[in-house]
Structure 1
Amino acid sequence: MNNMLAPWVIAVVLITYFALLILISFLTSRNADSDSFFTGNKQSPWYLVAFGMIGASLSGVTFISVPGKVASEGMAYFQIVLGYVIGYIVIAQVLMPLYYRLNVTSIYQYLQTRFGTVSYKTGAGFFILSRTLGSATRLYLATEVLHLFLFKDLGVAYWVTALTTVALIWVYTFKGGIKTIVYTDTFQTVFLISAVIICTVIISNALGVNWSGLYAKIAATKTSGNYSMSRIFFFDDPNSPLYFYKQFFGGMFLAIAMTGLDQDLMQKNLTCRNIGEAQKNMYSFTTVLVITNFLFLLLGGALYVYANHFQIDLPVKTDHTFPTLALNNFGKIAGIFFLLGITASSYASADSALAALTTGFCIDFLHFERRTEAQKQRIKLFVHIGFSVLFLAIILATKTYVDANPKTDLIGLILTIAGYTYGPLLGLFTFGIVLKRKLNEWLVPIVCIIIPLVCYYVSQNMPLWTGGVIINKEIVGGYRFGNELLILNGLLTFLGLWFISKPGKTVEKAQNVQTV
């Protein structure tokens, strides 16, 4: 593949970019202690947190997969985004006041105050499982792009690219933690949004239209399903994964689970000075996120309009559509900003996840409150390295899986992982907030493990149970679960917890459970 950007140009851009990240890390981590790493000393400006959370929420998968999917699904993904809005309102009005009242460092400490230690460890364990799998899978895509368009041409092995990708994150997060990430994520979000806007403007100029004219061309272009690429709402087929109510309510509960019950993103909110500023952050973040996701979908349609107009053959993998055009056809400026955008989106998501996983494991499992500051710093370092190595292993495993299954939909894979692993968290938190019952704690892990397995069995067999038939070893027709799988998982977990509970007064009370 002949890249318009020479490998040395790509290398210089990336070296400069990471040098700036390391400089920001140095400036923000001076005199940093464990409290700085975990809570940012609760001094983060809310507007920086809000803007930086965009990059952490979207990830490289959104940056590449969402535009690519417009060819087959139109703008149906925006139905999920509309559901996010309701979910974020629930987070701002229900969960965030709860976390601030209890003054937690790890949000799973709520489960300890409400139920006890076993529930607490179960919730924290599911977060570590879900966030490790999800974040490493997201980071795989950035590694794939960097390898495909830079390191492969230099004769570098894939595992070296992956190692380099993870090592760079570790370098600029290992000392400052969340205090540094609030600033680096803001820096990275600027490049993420700039890349989308610049590439869209370049396409508009190449086609000789303004943005409204570009949208009209997108609307006139058909997807592989023979409907307009600008189509957002799907009300006609309840069996389709694109059906509005599946997407909308699935998006709502995905937002509650993957943001409100996720230590990664809530850790940023908890660095704000008070609940008022944290809520300002959440509502500002929601507004910008909706606009940014629509820009991604607009860009996705524009990519295919551009390719059709100039008769450009696109790669089979839709995840390669954006990088192929940006690096080969849009010119050097677009190529540079694409590199910065994919790097920013991937690293903004992965760096905060690495810090959150380190926080969660140290606070929730290693009894950090009993350690001296010197011991905390040493333990934090080893845990940080441990999760970095785990990220590397999952990236390499994902590479093997995707190579063997080239039609893998990465964003679908990540949402499926979330559906199985966040379901128990959704059930636990909802049960604790809604009902005033006591749990037989020793049965909580059993319920939280069995229910996702039940959901998997139901999901695999539902098409056959609802009229699907097997043709050429594939099931055709029938009802298929989409994002609503998370709702089913959470609901069944809730019911399972009810069966192992009994009436009793809640033990939750406002107290300082902060442990650093």
Structure 2
Amino acid sequence: MSPYLLFSFVLGYFLLLLVVAWYTSRNSNNDSFFIGNRSSNWMLVAFGMIGTSLSGVTFVSVPGTVGSSGMQYFQVVIGYFLGYIVIAYVLLPLYYKMNLTSIYNYLSHRFGIVSYKTGAVYFLLSRTLGATARMYLVINILQIFILDSMDVPFWATALVILVLILLYTFEGGVKTIVYTDMLQTSCMLIGLIVCIFAVLNIMDLSVGEAINQMSMKGMTEIFNTDYKSPGFFLKQIIGGAFITIAMTGLDQEMMQKNISVRTLKDSQKNVMTLSVVLLFVNLLFLLMGGLLYLYAGANGLAVKGDDLFPAIALGNYLSTGIGIIFIIGLISALFPSADGALTALTSSFCIDILGLKRREDLDEAARKKTRLTVHLTFAIIFFLCVMGFKWVNDKSIIDVILKVAGYTYGPLLGLFAFGILTRRTINDRLSLIVCIAAPLLVISLDLLNNAEWFAGKLRLAETTATALKDFSHRLFYGFRIGIELLIINGILTFIGLWMISSKAEAVPLPVMDEVKEL
């Protein structure tokens, strides 16, 4: 498959994005960048957020999980659905009632400036690491299958892609991203569906026949009933719900698009529509994974995991057209998460850290100059992080970084939960200590629970490694911590905040009526 042909389609796709960006960013201002002037159409936001919620990691990794764990990932997806209900009917009423541009302003009103800055910094750290990890995964695939054969160095690929993202988000921000996300989600879903039918056709199977073959190979199992396993269905469902609450409902990038919708009712329709659509889209990704494993088995291909989809789609196994569609689908899955992250990080830093909206000494032009400078700075940080992942050159770094993102959302979960569910006030100056201590305790707990991995990384002597592993087994009775790590982190933060709190008769809780109704 010609890399030059694939590259020409990638370039054409970028040009289309730039045209859309130019059209939608006309007459834009700071409010357009931050919240889309609160005039976004809820249907466009809901559709575009499919791509943001999935990302390139989902496009590549979810199909790859079918070979090792069947369709157990769908347990987490069920949890996502429950989490979106909480976002729609608990968090969104809070954000709209307080007329927030940055959702972390809630922490300022509820606790004080230290809690506010702490929440914002945790978001900045987590989103930067998570977004650049996802970028690295996709950029590396483009590099291996297209640009290496054209003698283009990795740093140039990363730089050009970031410049292109910068160009179409520089002026319009959220106002532009709502439309580019819609375009990119369309391309991603079309690519996924076309690839499914292409593999079915080449294997001469119907959907029913393919599912029967997957079932015989144990690839259709959804629910894991082993309570000691990290994949136990209750842990996966509950963990999935809290991941959505924390990593969507308490994430400025995701909520920035929701609060750009004109009314609360429309924003709630956006979230609930998204939650239902994601159930079906993730099923399609899992079906795609099963088909790819059937195809690989039938053709003696020894590929699995993250390598499965790109190796088959971009190798000489399917048609050139399918390879083109896969590449367009892949970059369409990448950019809704990358462009949204870049915009949200700019918004959060300008509003939460610099206090741009509170600066009465700055006119609109000065605020815009500051915002553009911050936007460019985060693009440079993105480039450095992507190059850092390349320097490490270890695929497992993606899983590690995503786990770190789970650590950083724990304090946010604890802060918002304590604010919404209690009427107590805290010693604001001590909140930072609590929010640092809780993740450190969770990291220690996770390392103890995964003693074998820990010993291997430190290259400990065999006797020491065995003793550590035995200690871990006795301590946890063979129980393996999985997706619920975020919940533990949030609970520890909540307990810590309770310890530095005192009873208060009157605390402004604009969301309590909505919580009671729910």
TM-score range, shorter chain: over 0.9
Cα deviation, 1:177-233, whole Å, max 9, x if unaligned, reads: 000000000000011111111111011111111111111111122xxxxxx111111
Cα separation, 1, equivalents of 2:130 and 2:144: 22
**1:507 Cα deviation after fit:** 4.0
2:222 paired residue among 232, 248, 261:
232
2:254 paired residue among 246, 249, 265:
265
CA-atom RMSD, angstroms?
1.9
**1:311 Cα deviation after fit:** 2.3
Cα deviation, 1:78-135, whole Å, max 9, x if unaligned, reads: 1000001110000001000000000000000111111111111111111111111111
Report the counterpart of residue 366 of structure 1 in structure 2.
354
1:292 paired residue among 276, 281, 285:
281
Secondary structure, counterpart of 2:149 in structure 1: coil
Report the counterpart of residue 357 of structure 1 in structure 2.
345
Runs of 4+ in 1 over 2 A off after TM superposition: 310-314, 412-415, 462-465, 468-480, 505-511
Report the counterpart of residue 342 of structure 1 in structure 2.
330
**1:471 Cα deviation after fit:** 9.9
Does the 8 A contact of 1:113 with 1:509 survive in 2?
Answer: no
Report the counterpart of residue 325 of structure 1 in structure 2.
312
Aligned residues between the structures:
492
Cα separation, 2, equivalents of 1:233 and 1:256: 22
- Alignment of 1:279 with 2:275, yes or no, is no
Q: Per the alignment, do residues 506 and 385 of structure 1 end up closer, same or farther by CA in structure 2, a change over 3 Å counting?
A: farther
**1:463 Cα deviation after fit:** 5.1
1:101 paired residue among 94, 97, 103:
97
Q: Per the alignment, do residues 505 and 174 of structure 1 end up closer, same or farther by CA in structure 2, a change over 3 Å counting?
A: farther
TM-score calculated relative to the size of structure 2: 0.92
Report the counterpart of residue 388 of structure 1 in structure 2.
379
Secondary structure, counterpart of 1:152 in structure 2: helix
Report the counterpart of residue 81 of structure 1 in structure 2.
77
Secondary structure, counterpart of 2:76 in structure 1: helix
Cα separation, 2, equivalents of 1:208 and 1:164: 41
Cα separation, 2, equivalents of 1:482 and 1:375: 47
Q: Per the alignment, do residues 232 and 414 of structure 1 end up closer, same or farther by CA in structure 2, a change over 3 Å counting?
A: farther
Cα separation, 1, equivalents of 2:212 and 2:342: 42
Within 5 Å, give how 1:415-494 maps onto structure 2: 415-462=402-449, 473=465, 475=469, 478-494=478-494
Q: Per the alignment, do residues 409 and 361 of structure 1 end up closer, same or farther by CA in structure 2, a change over 3 Å counting?
A: closer
Letter of the aligned partner of 1:508 in structure 2?
P
Does the 8 A contact of 2:129 with 2:405 survive in 1?
Answer: no
Letter of the aligned partner of 1:23 in structure 2?
V
- Alignment of 1:133 with 2:122, yes or no, is no
**1:243 Cα deviation after fit:** 1.1
Cα deviation, 1:428-473, whole Å, max 9, x if unaligned, reads: 00000000011100000011011100111111113569xx999954
Q: Per the alignment, do residues 509 and 155 of structure 1 end up closer, same or farther by CA in structure 2, a change over 3 Å counting?
A: same
Instruction: Report which stretch shifted further, 23-32 or 388-397.
Output: 388-397
Cα separation, 1, equivalents of 2:113 and 2:14: 41
Does the 8 A contact of 2:21 with 2:180 survive in 1?
Answer: yes
Secondary structure, counterpart of 2:425 in structure 1: strand
Q: Per the alignment, do residues 80 and 506 of structure 1 end up closer, same or farther by CA in structure 2, a change over 3 Å counting?
A: farther
Report the counterpart of residue 225 of structure 1 in structure 2.
none
**1:509 Cα deviation after fit:** 6.1
* Structure 2: runs of 5 or more not aligned: 512-518
Cα deviation, 1:456-491, whole Å, max 9, x if unaligned, reads: 1111113569xx999954748632221100000000
Cα separation, 2, equivalents of 1:312 and 1:457: 40
Instruction: State the identity %.
Output: 47
Within 5 Å, give how 1:31-70 maps onto structure 2: 31-70=27-66
**1:409 Cα deviation after fit:** 7.0
Cα separation, 1, equivalents of 2:189 and 2:213: 23
**1:157 Cα deviation after fit:** 1.4
Within 5 Å, give how 1:211-222 maps onto structure 2: 211-221=207-217
Does the 8 A contact of 1:21 with 1:172 survive in 2?
Answer: yes
Cα deviation, 1:372-393, whole Å, max 9, x if unaligned, reads: 1111111111100111111111
Does the 8 A contact of 1:74 with 1:229 survive in 2?
Answer: yes
Cα separation, 1, equivalents of 2:148 and 2:423: 57
Cα deviation, 1:143-173, whole Å, max 9, x if unaligned, reads: 1011011111111111111112211111110
**1:313 Cα deviation after fit:** 3.5
Report the counterpart of residue 514 of structure 1 in structure 2.
none
* Structure 1: runs of 5 or more not aligned: 222-227, 512-516
Cα deviation, 1:333-365, whole Å, max 9, x if unaligned, reads: 211111011101111111001000000000111
Report the counterpart of residue 515 of structure 2 in structure 1.
none
Cα separation, 2, equivalents of 1:84 and 1:11: 35
Cα separation, 1, equivalents of 2:81 and 2:296: 33
Secondary structure, counterpart of 1:422 in structure 2: helix
Secondary structure, counterpart of 2:262 in structure 1: coil
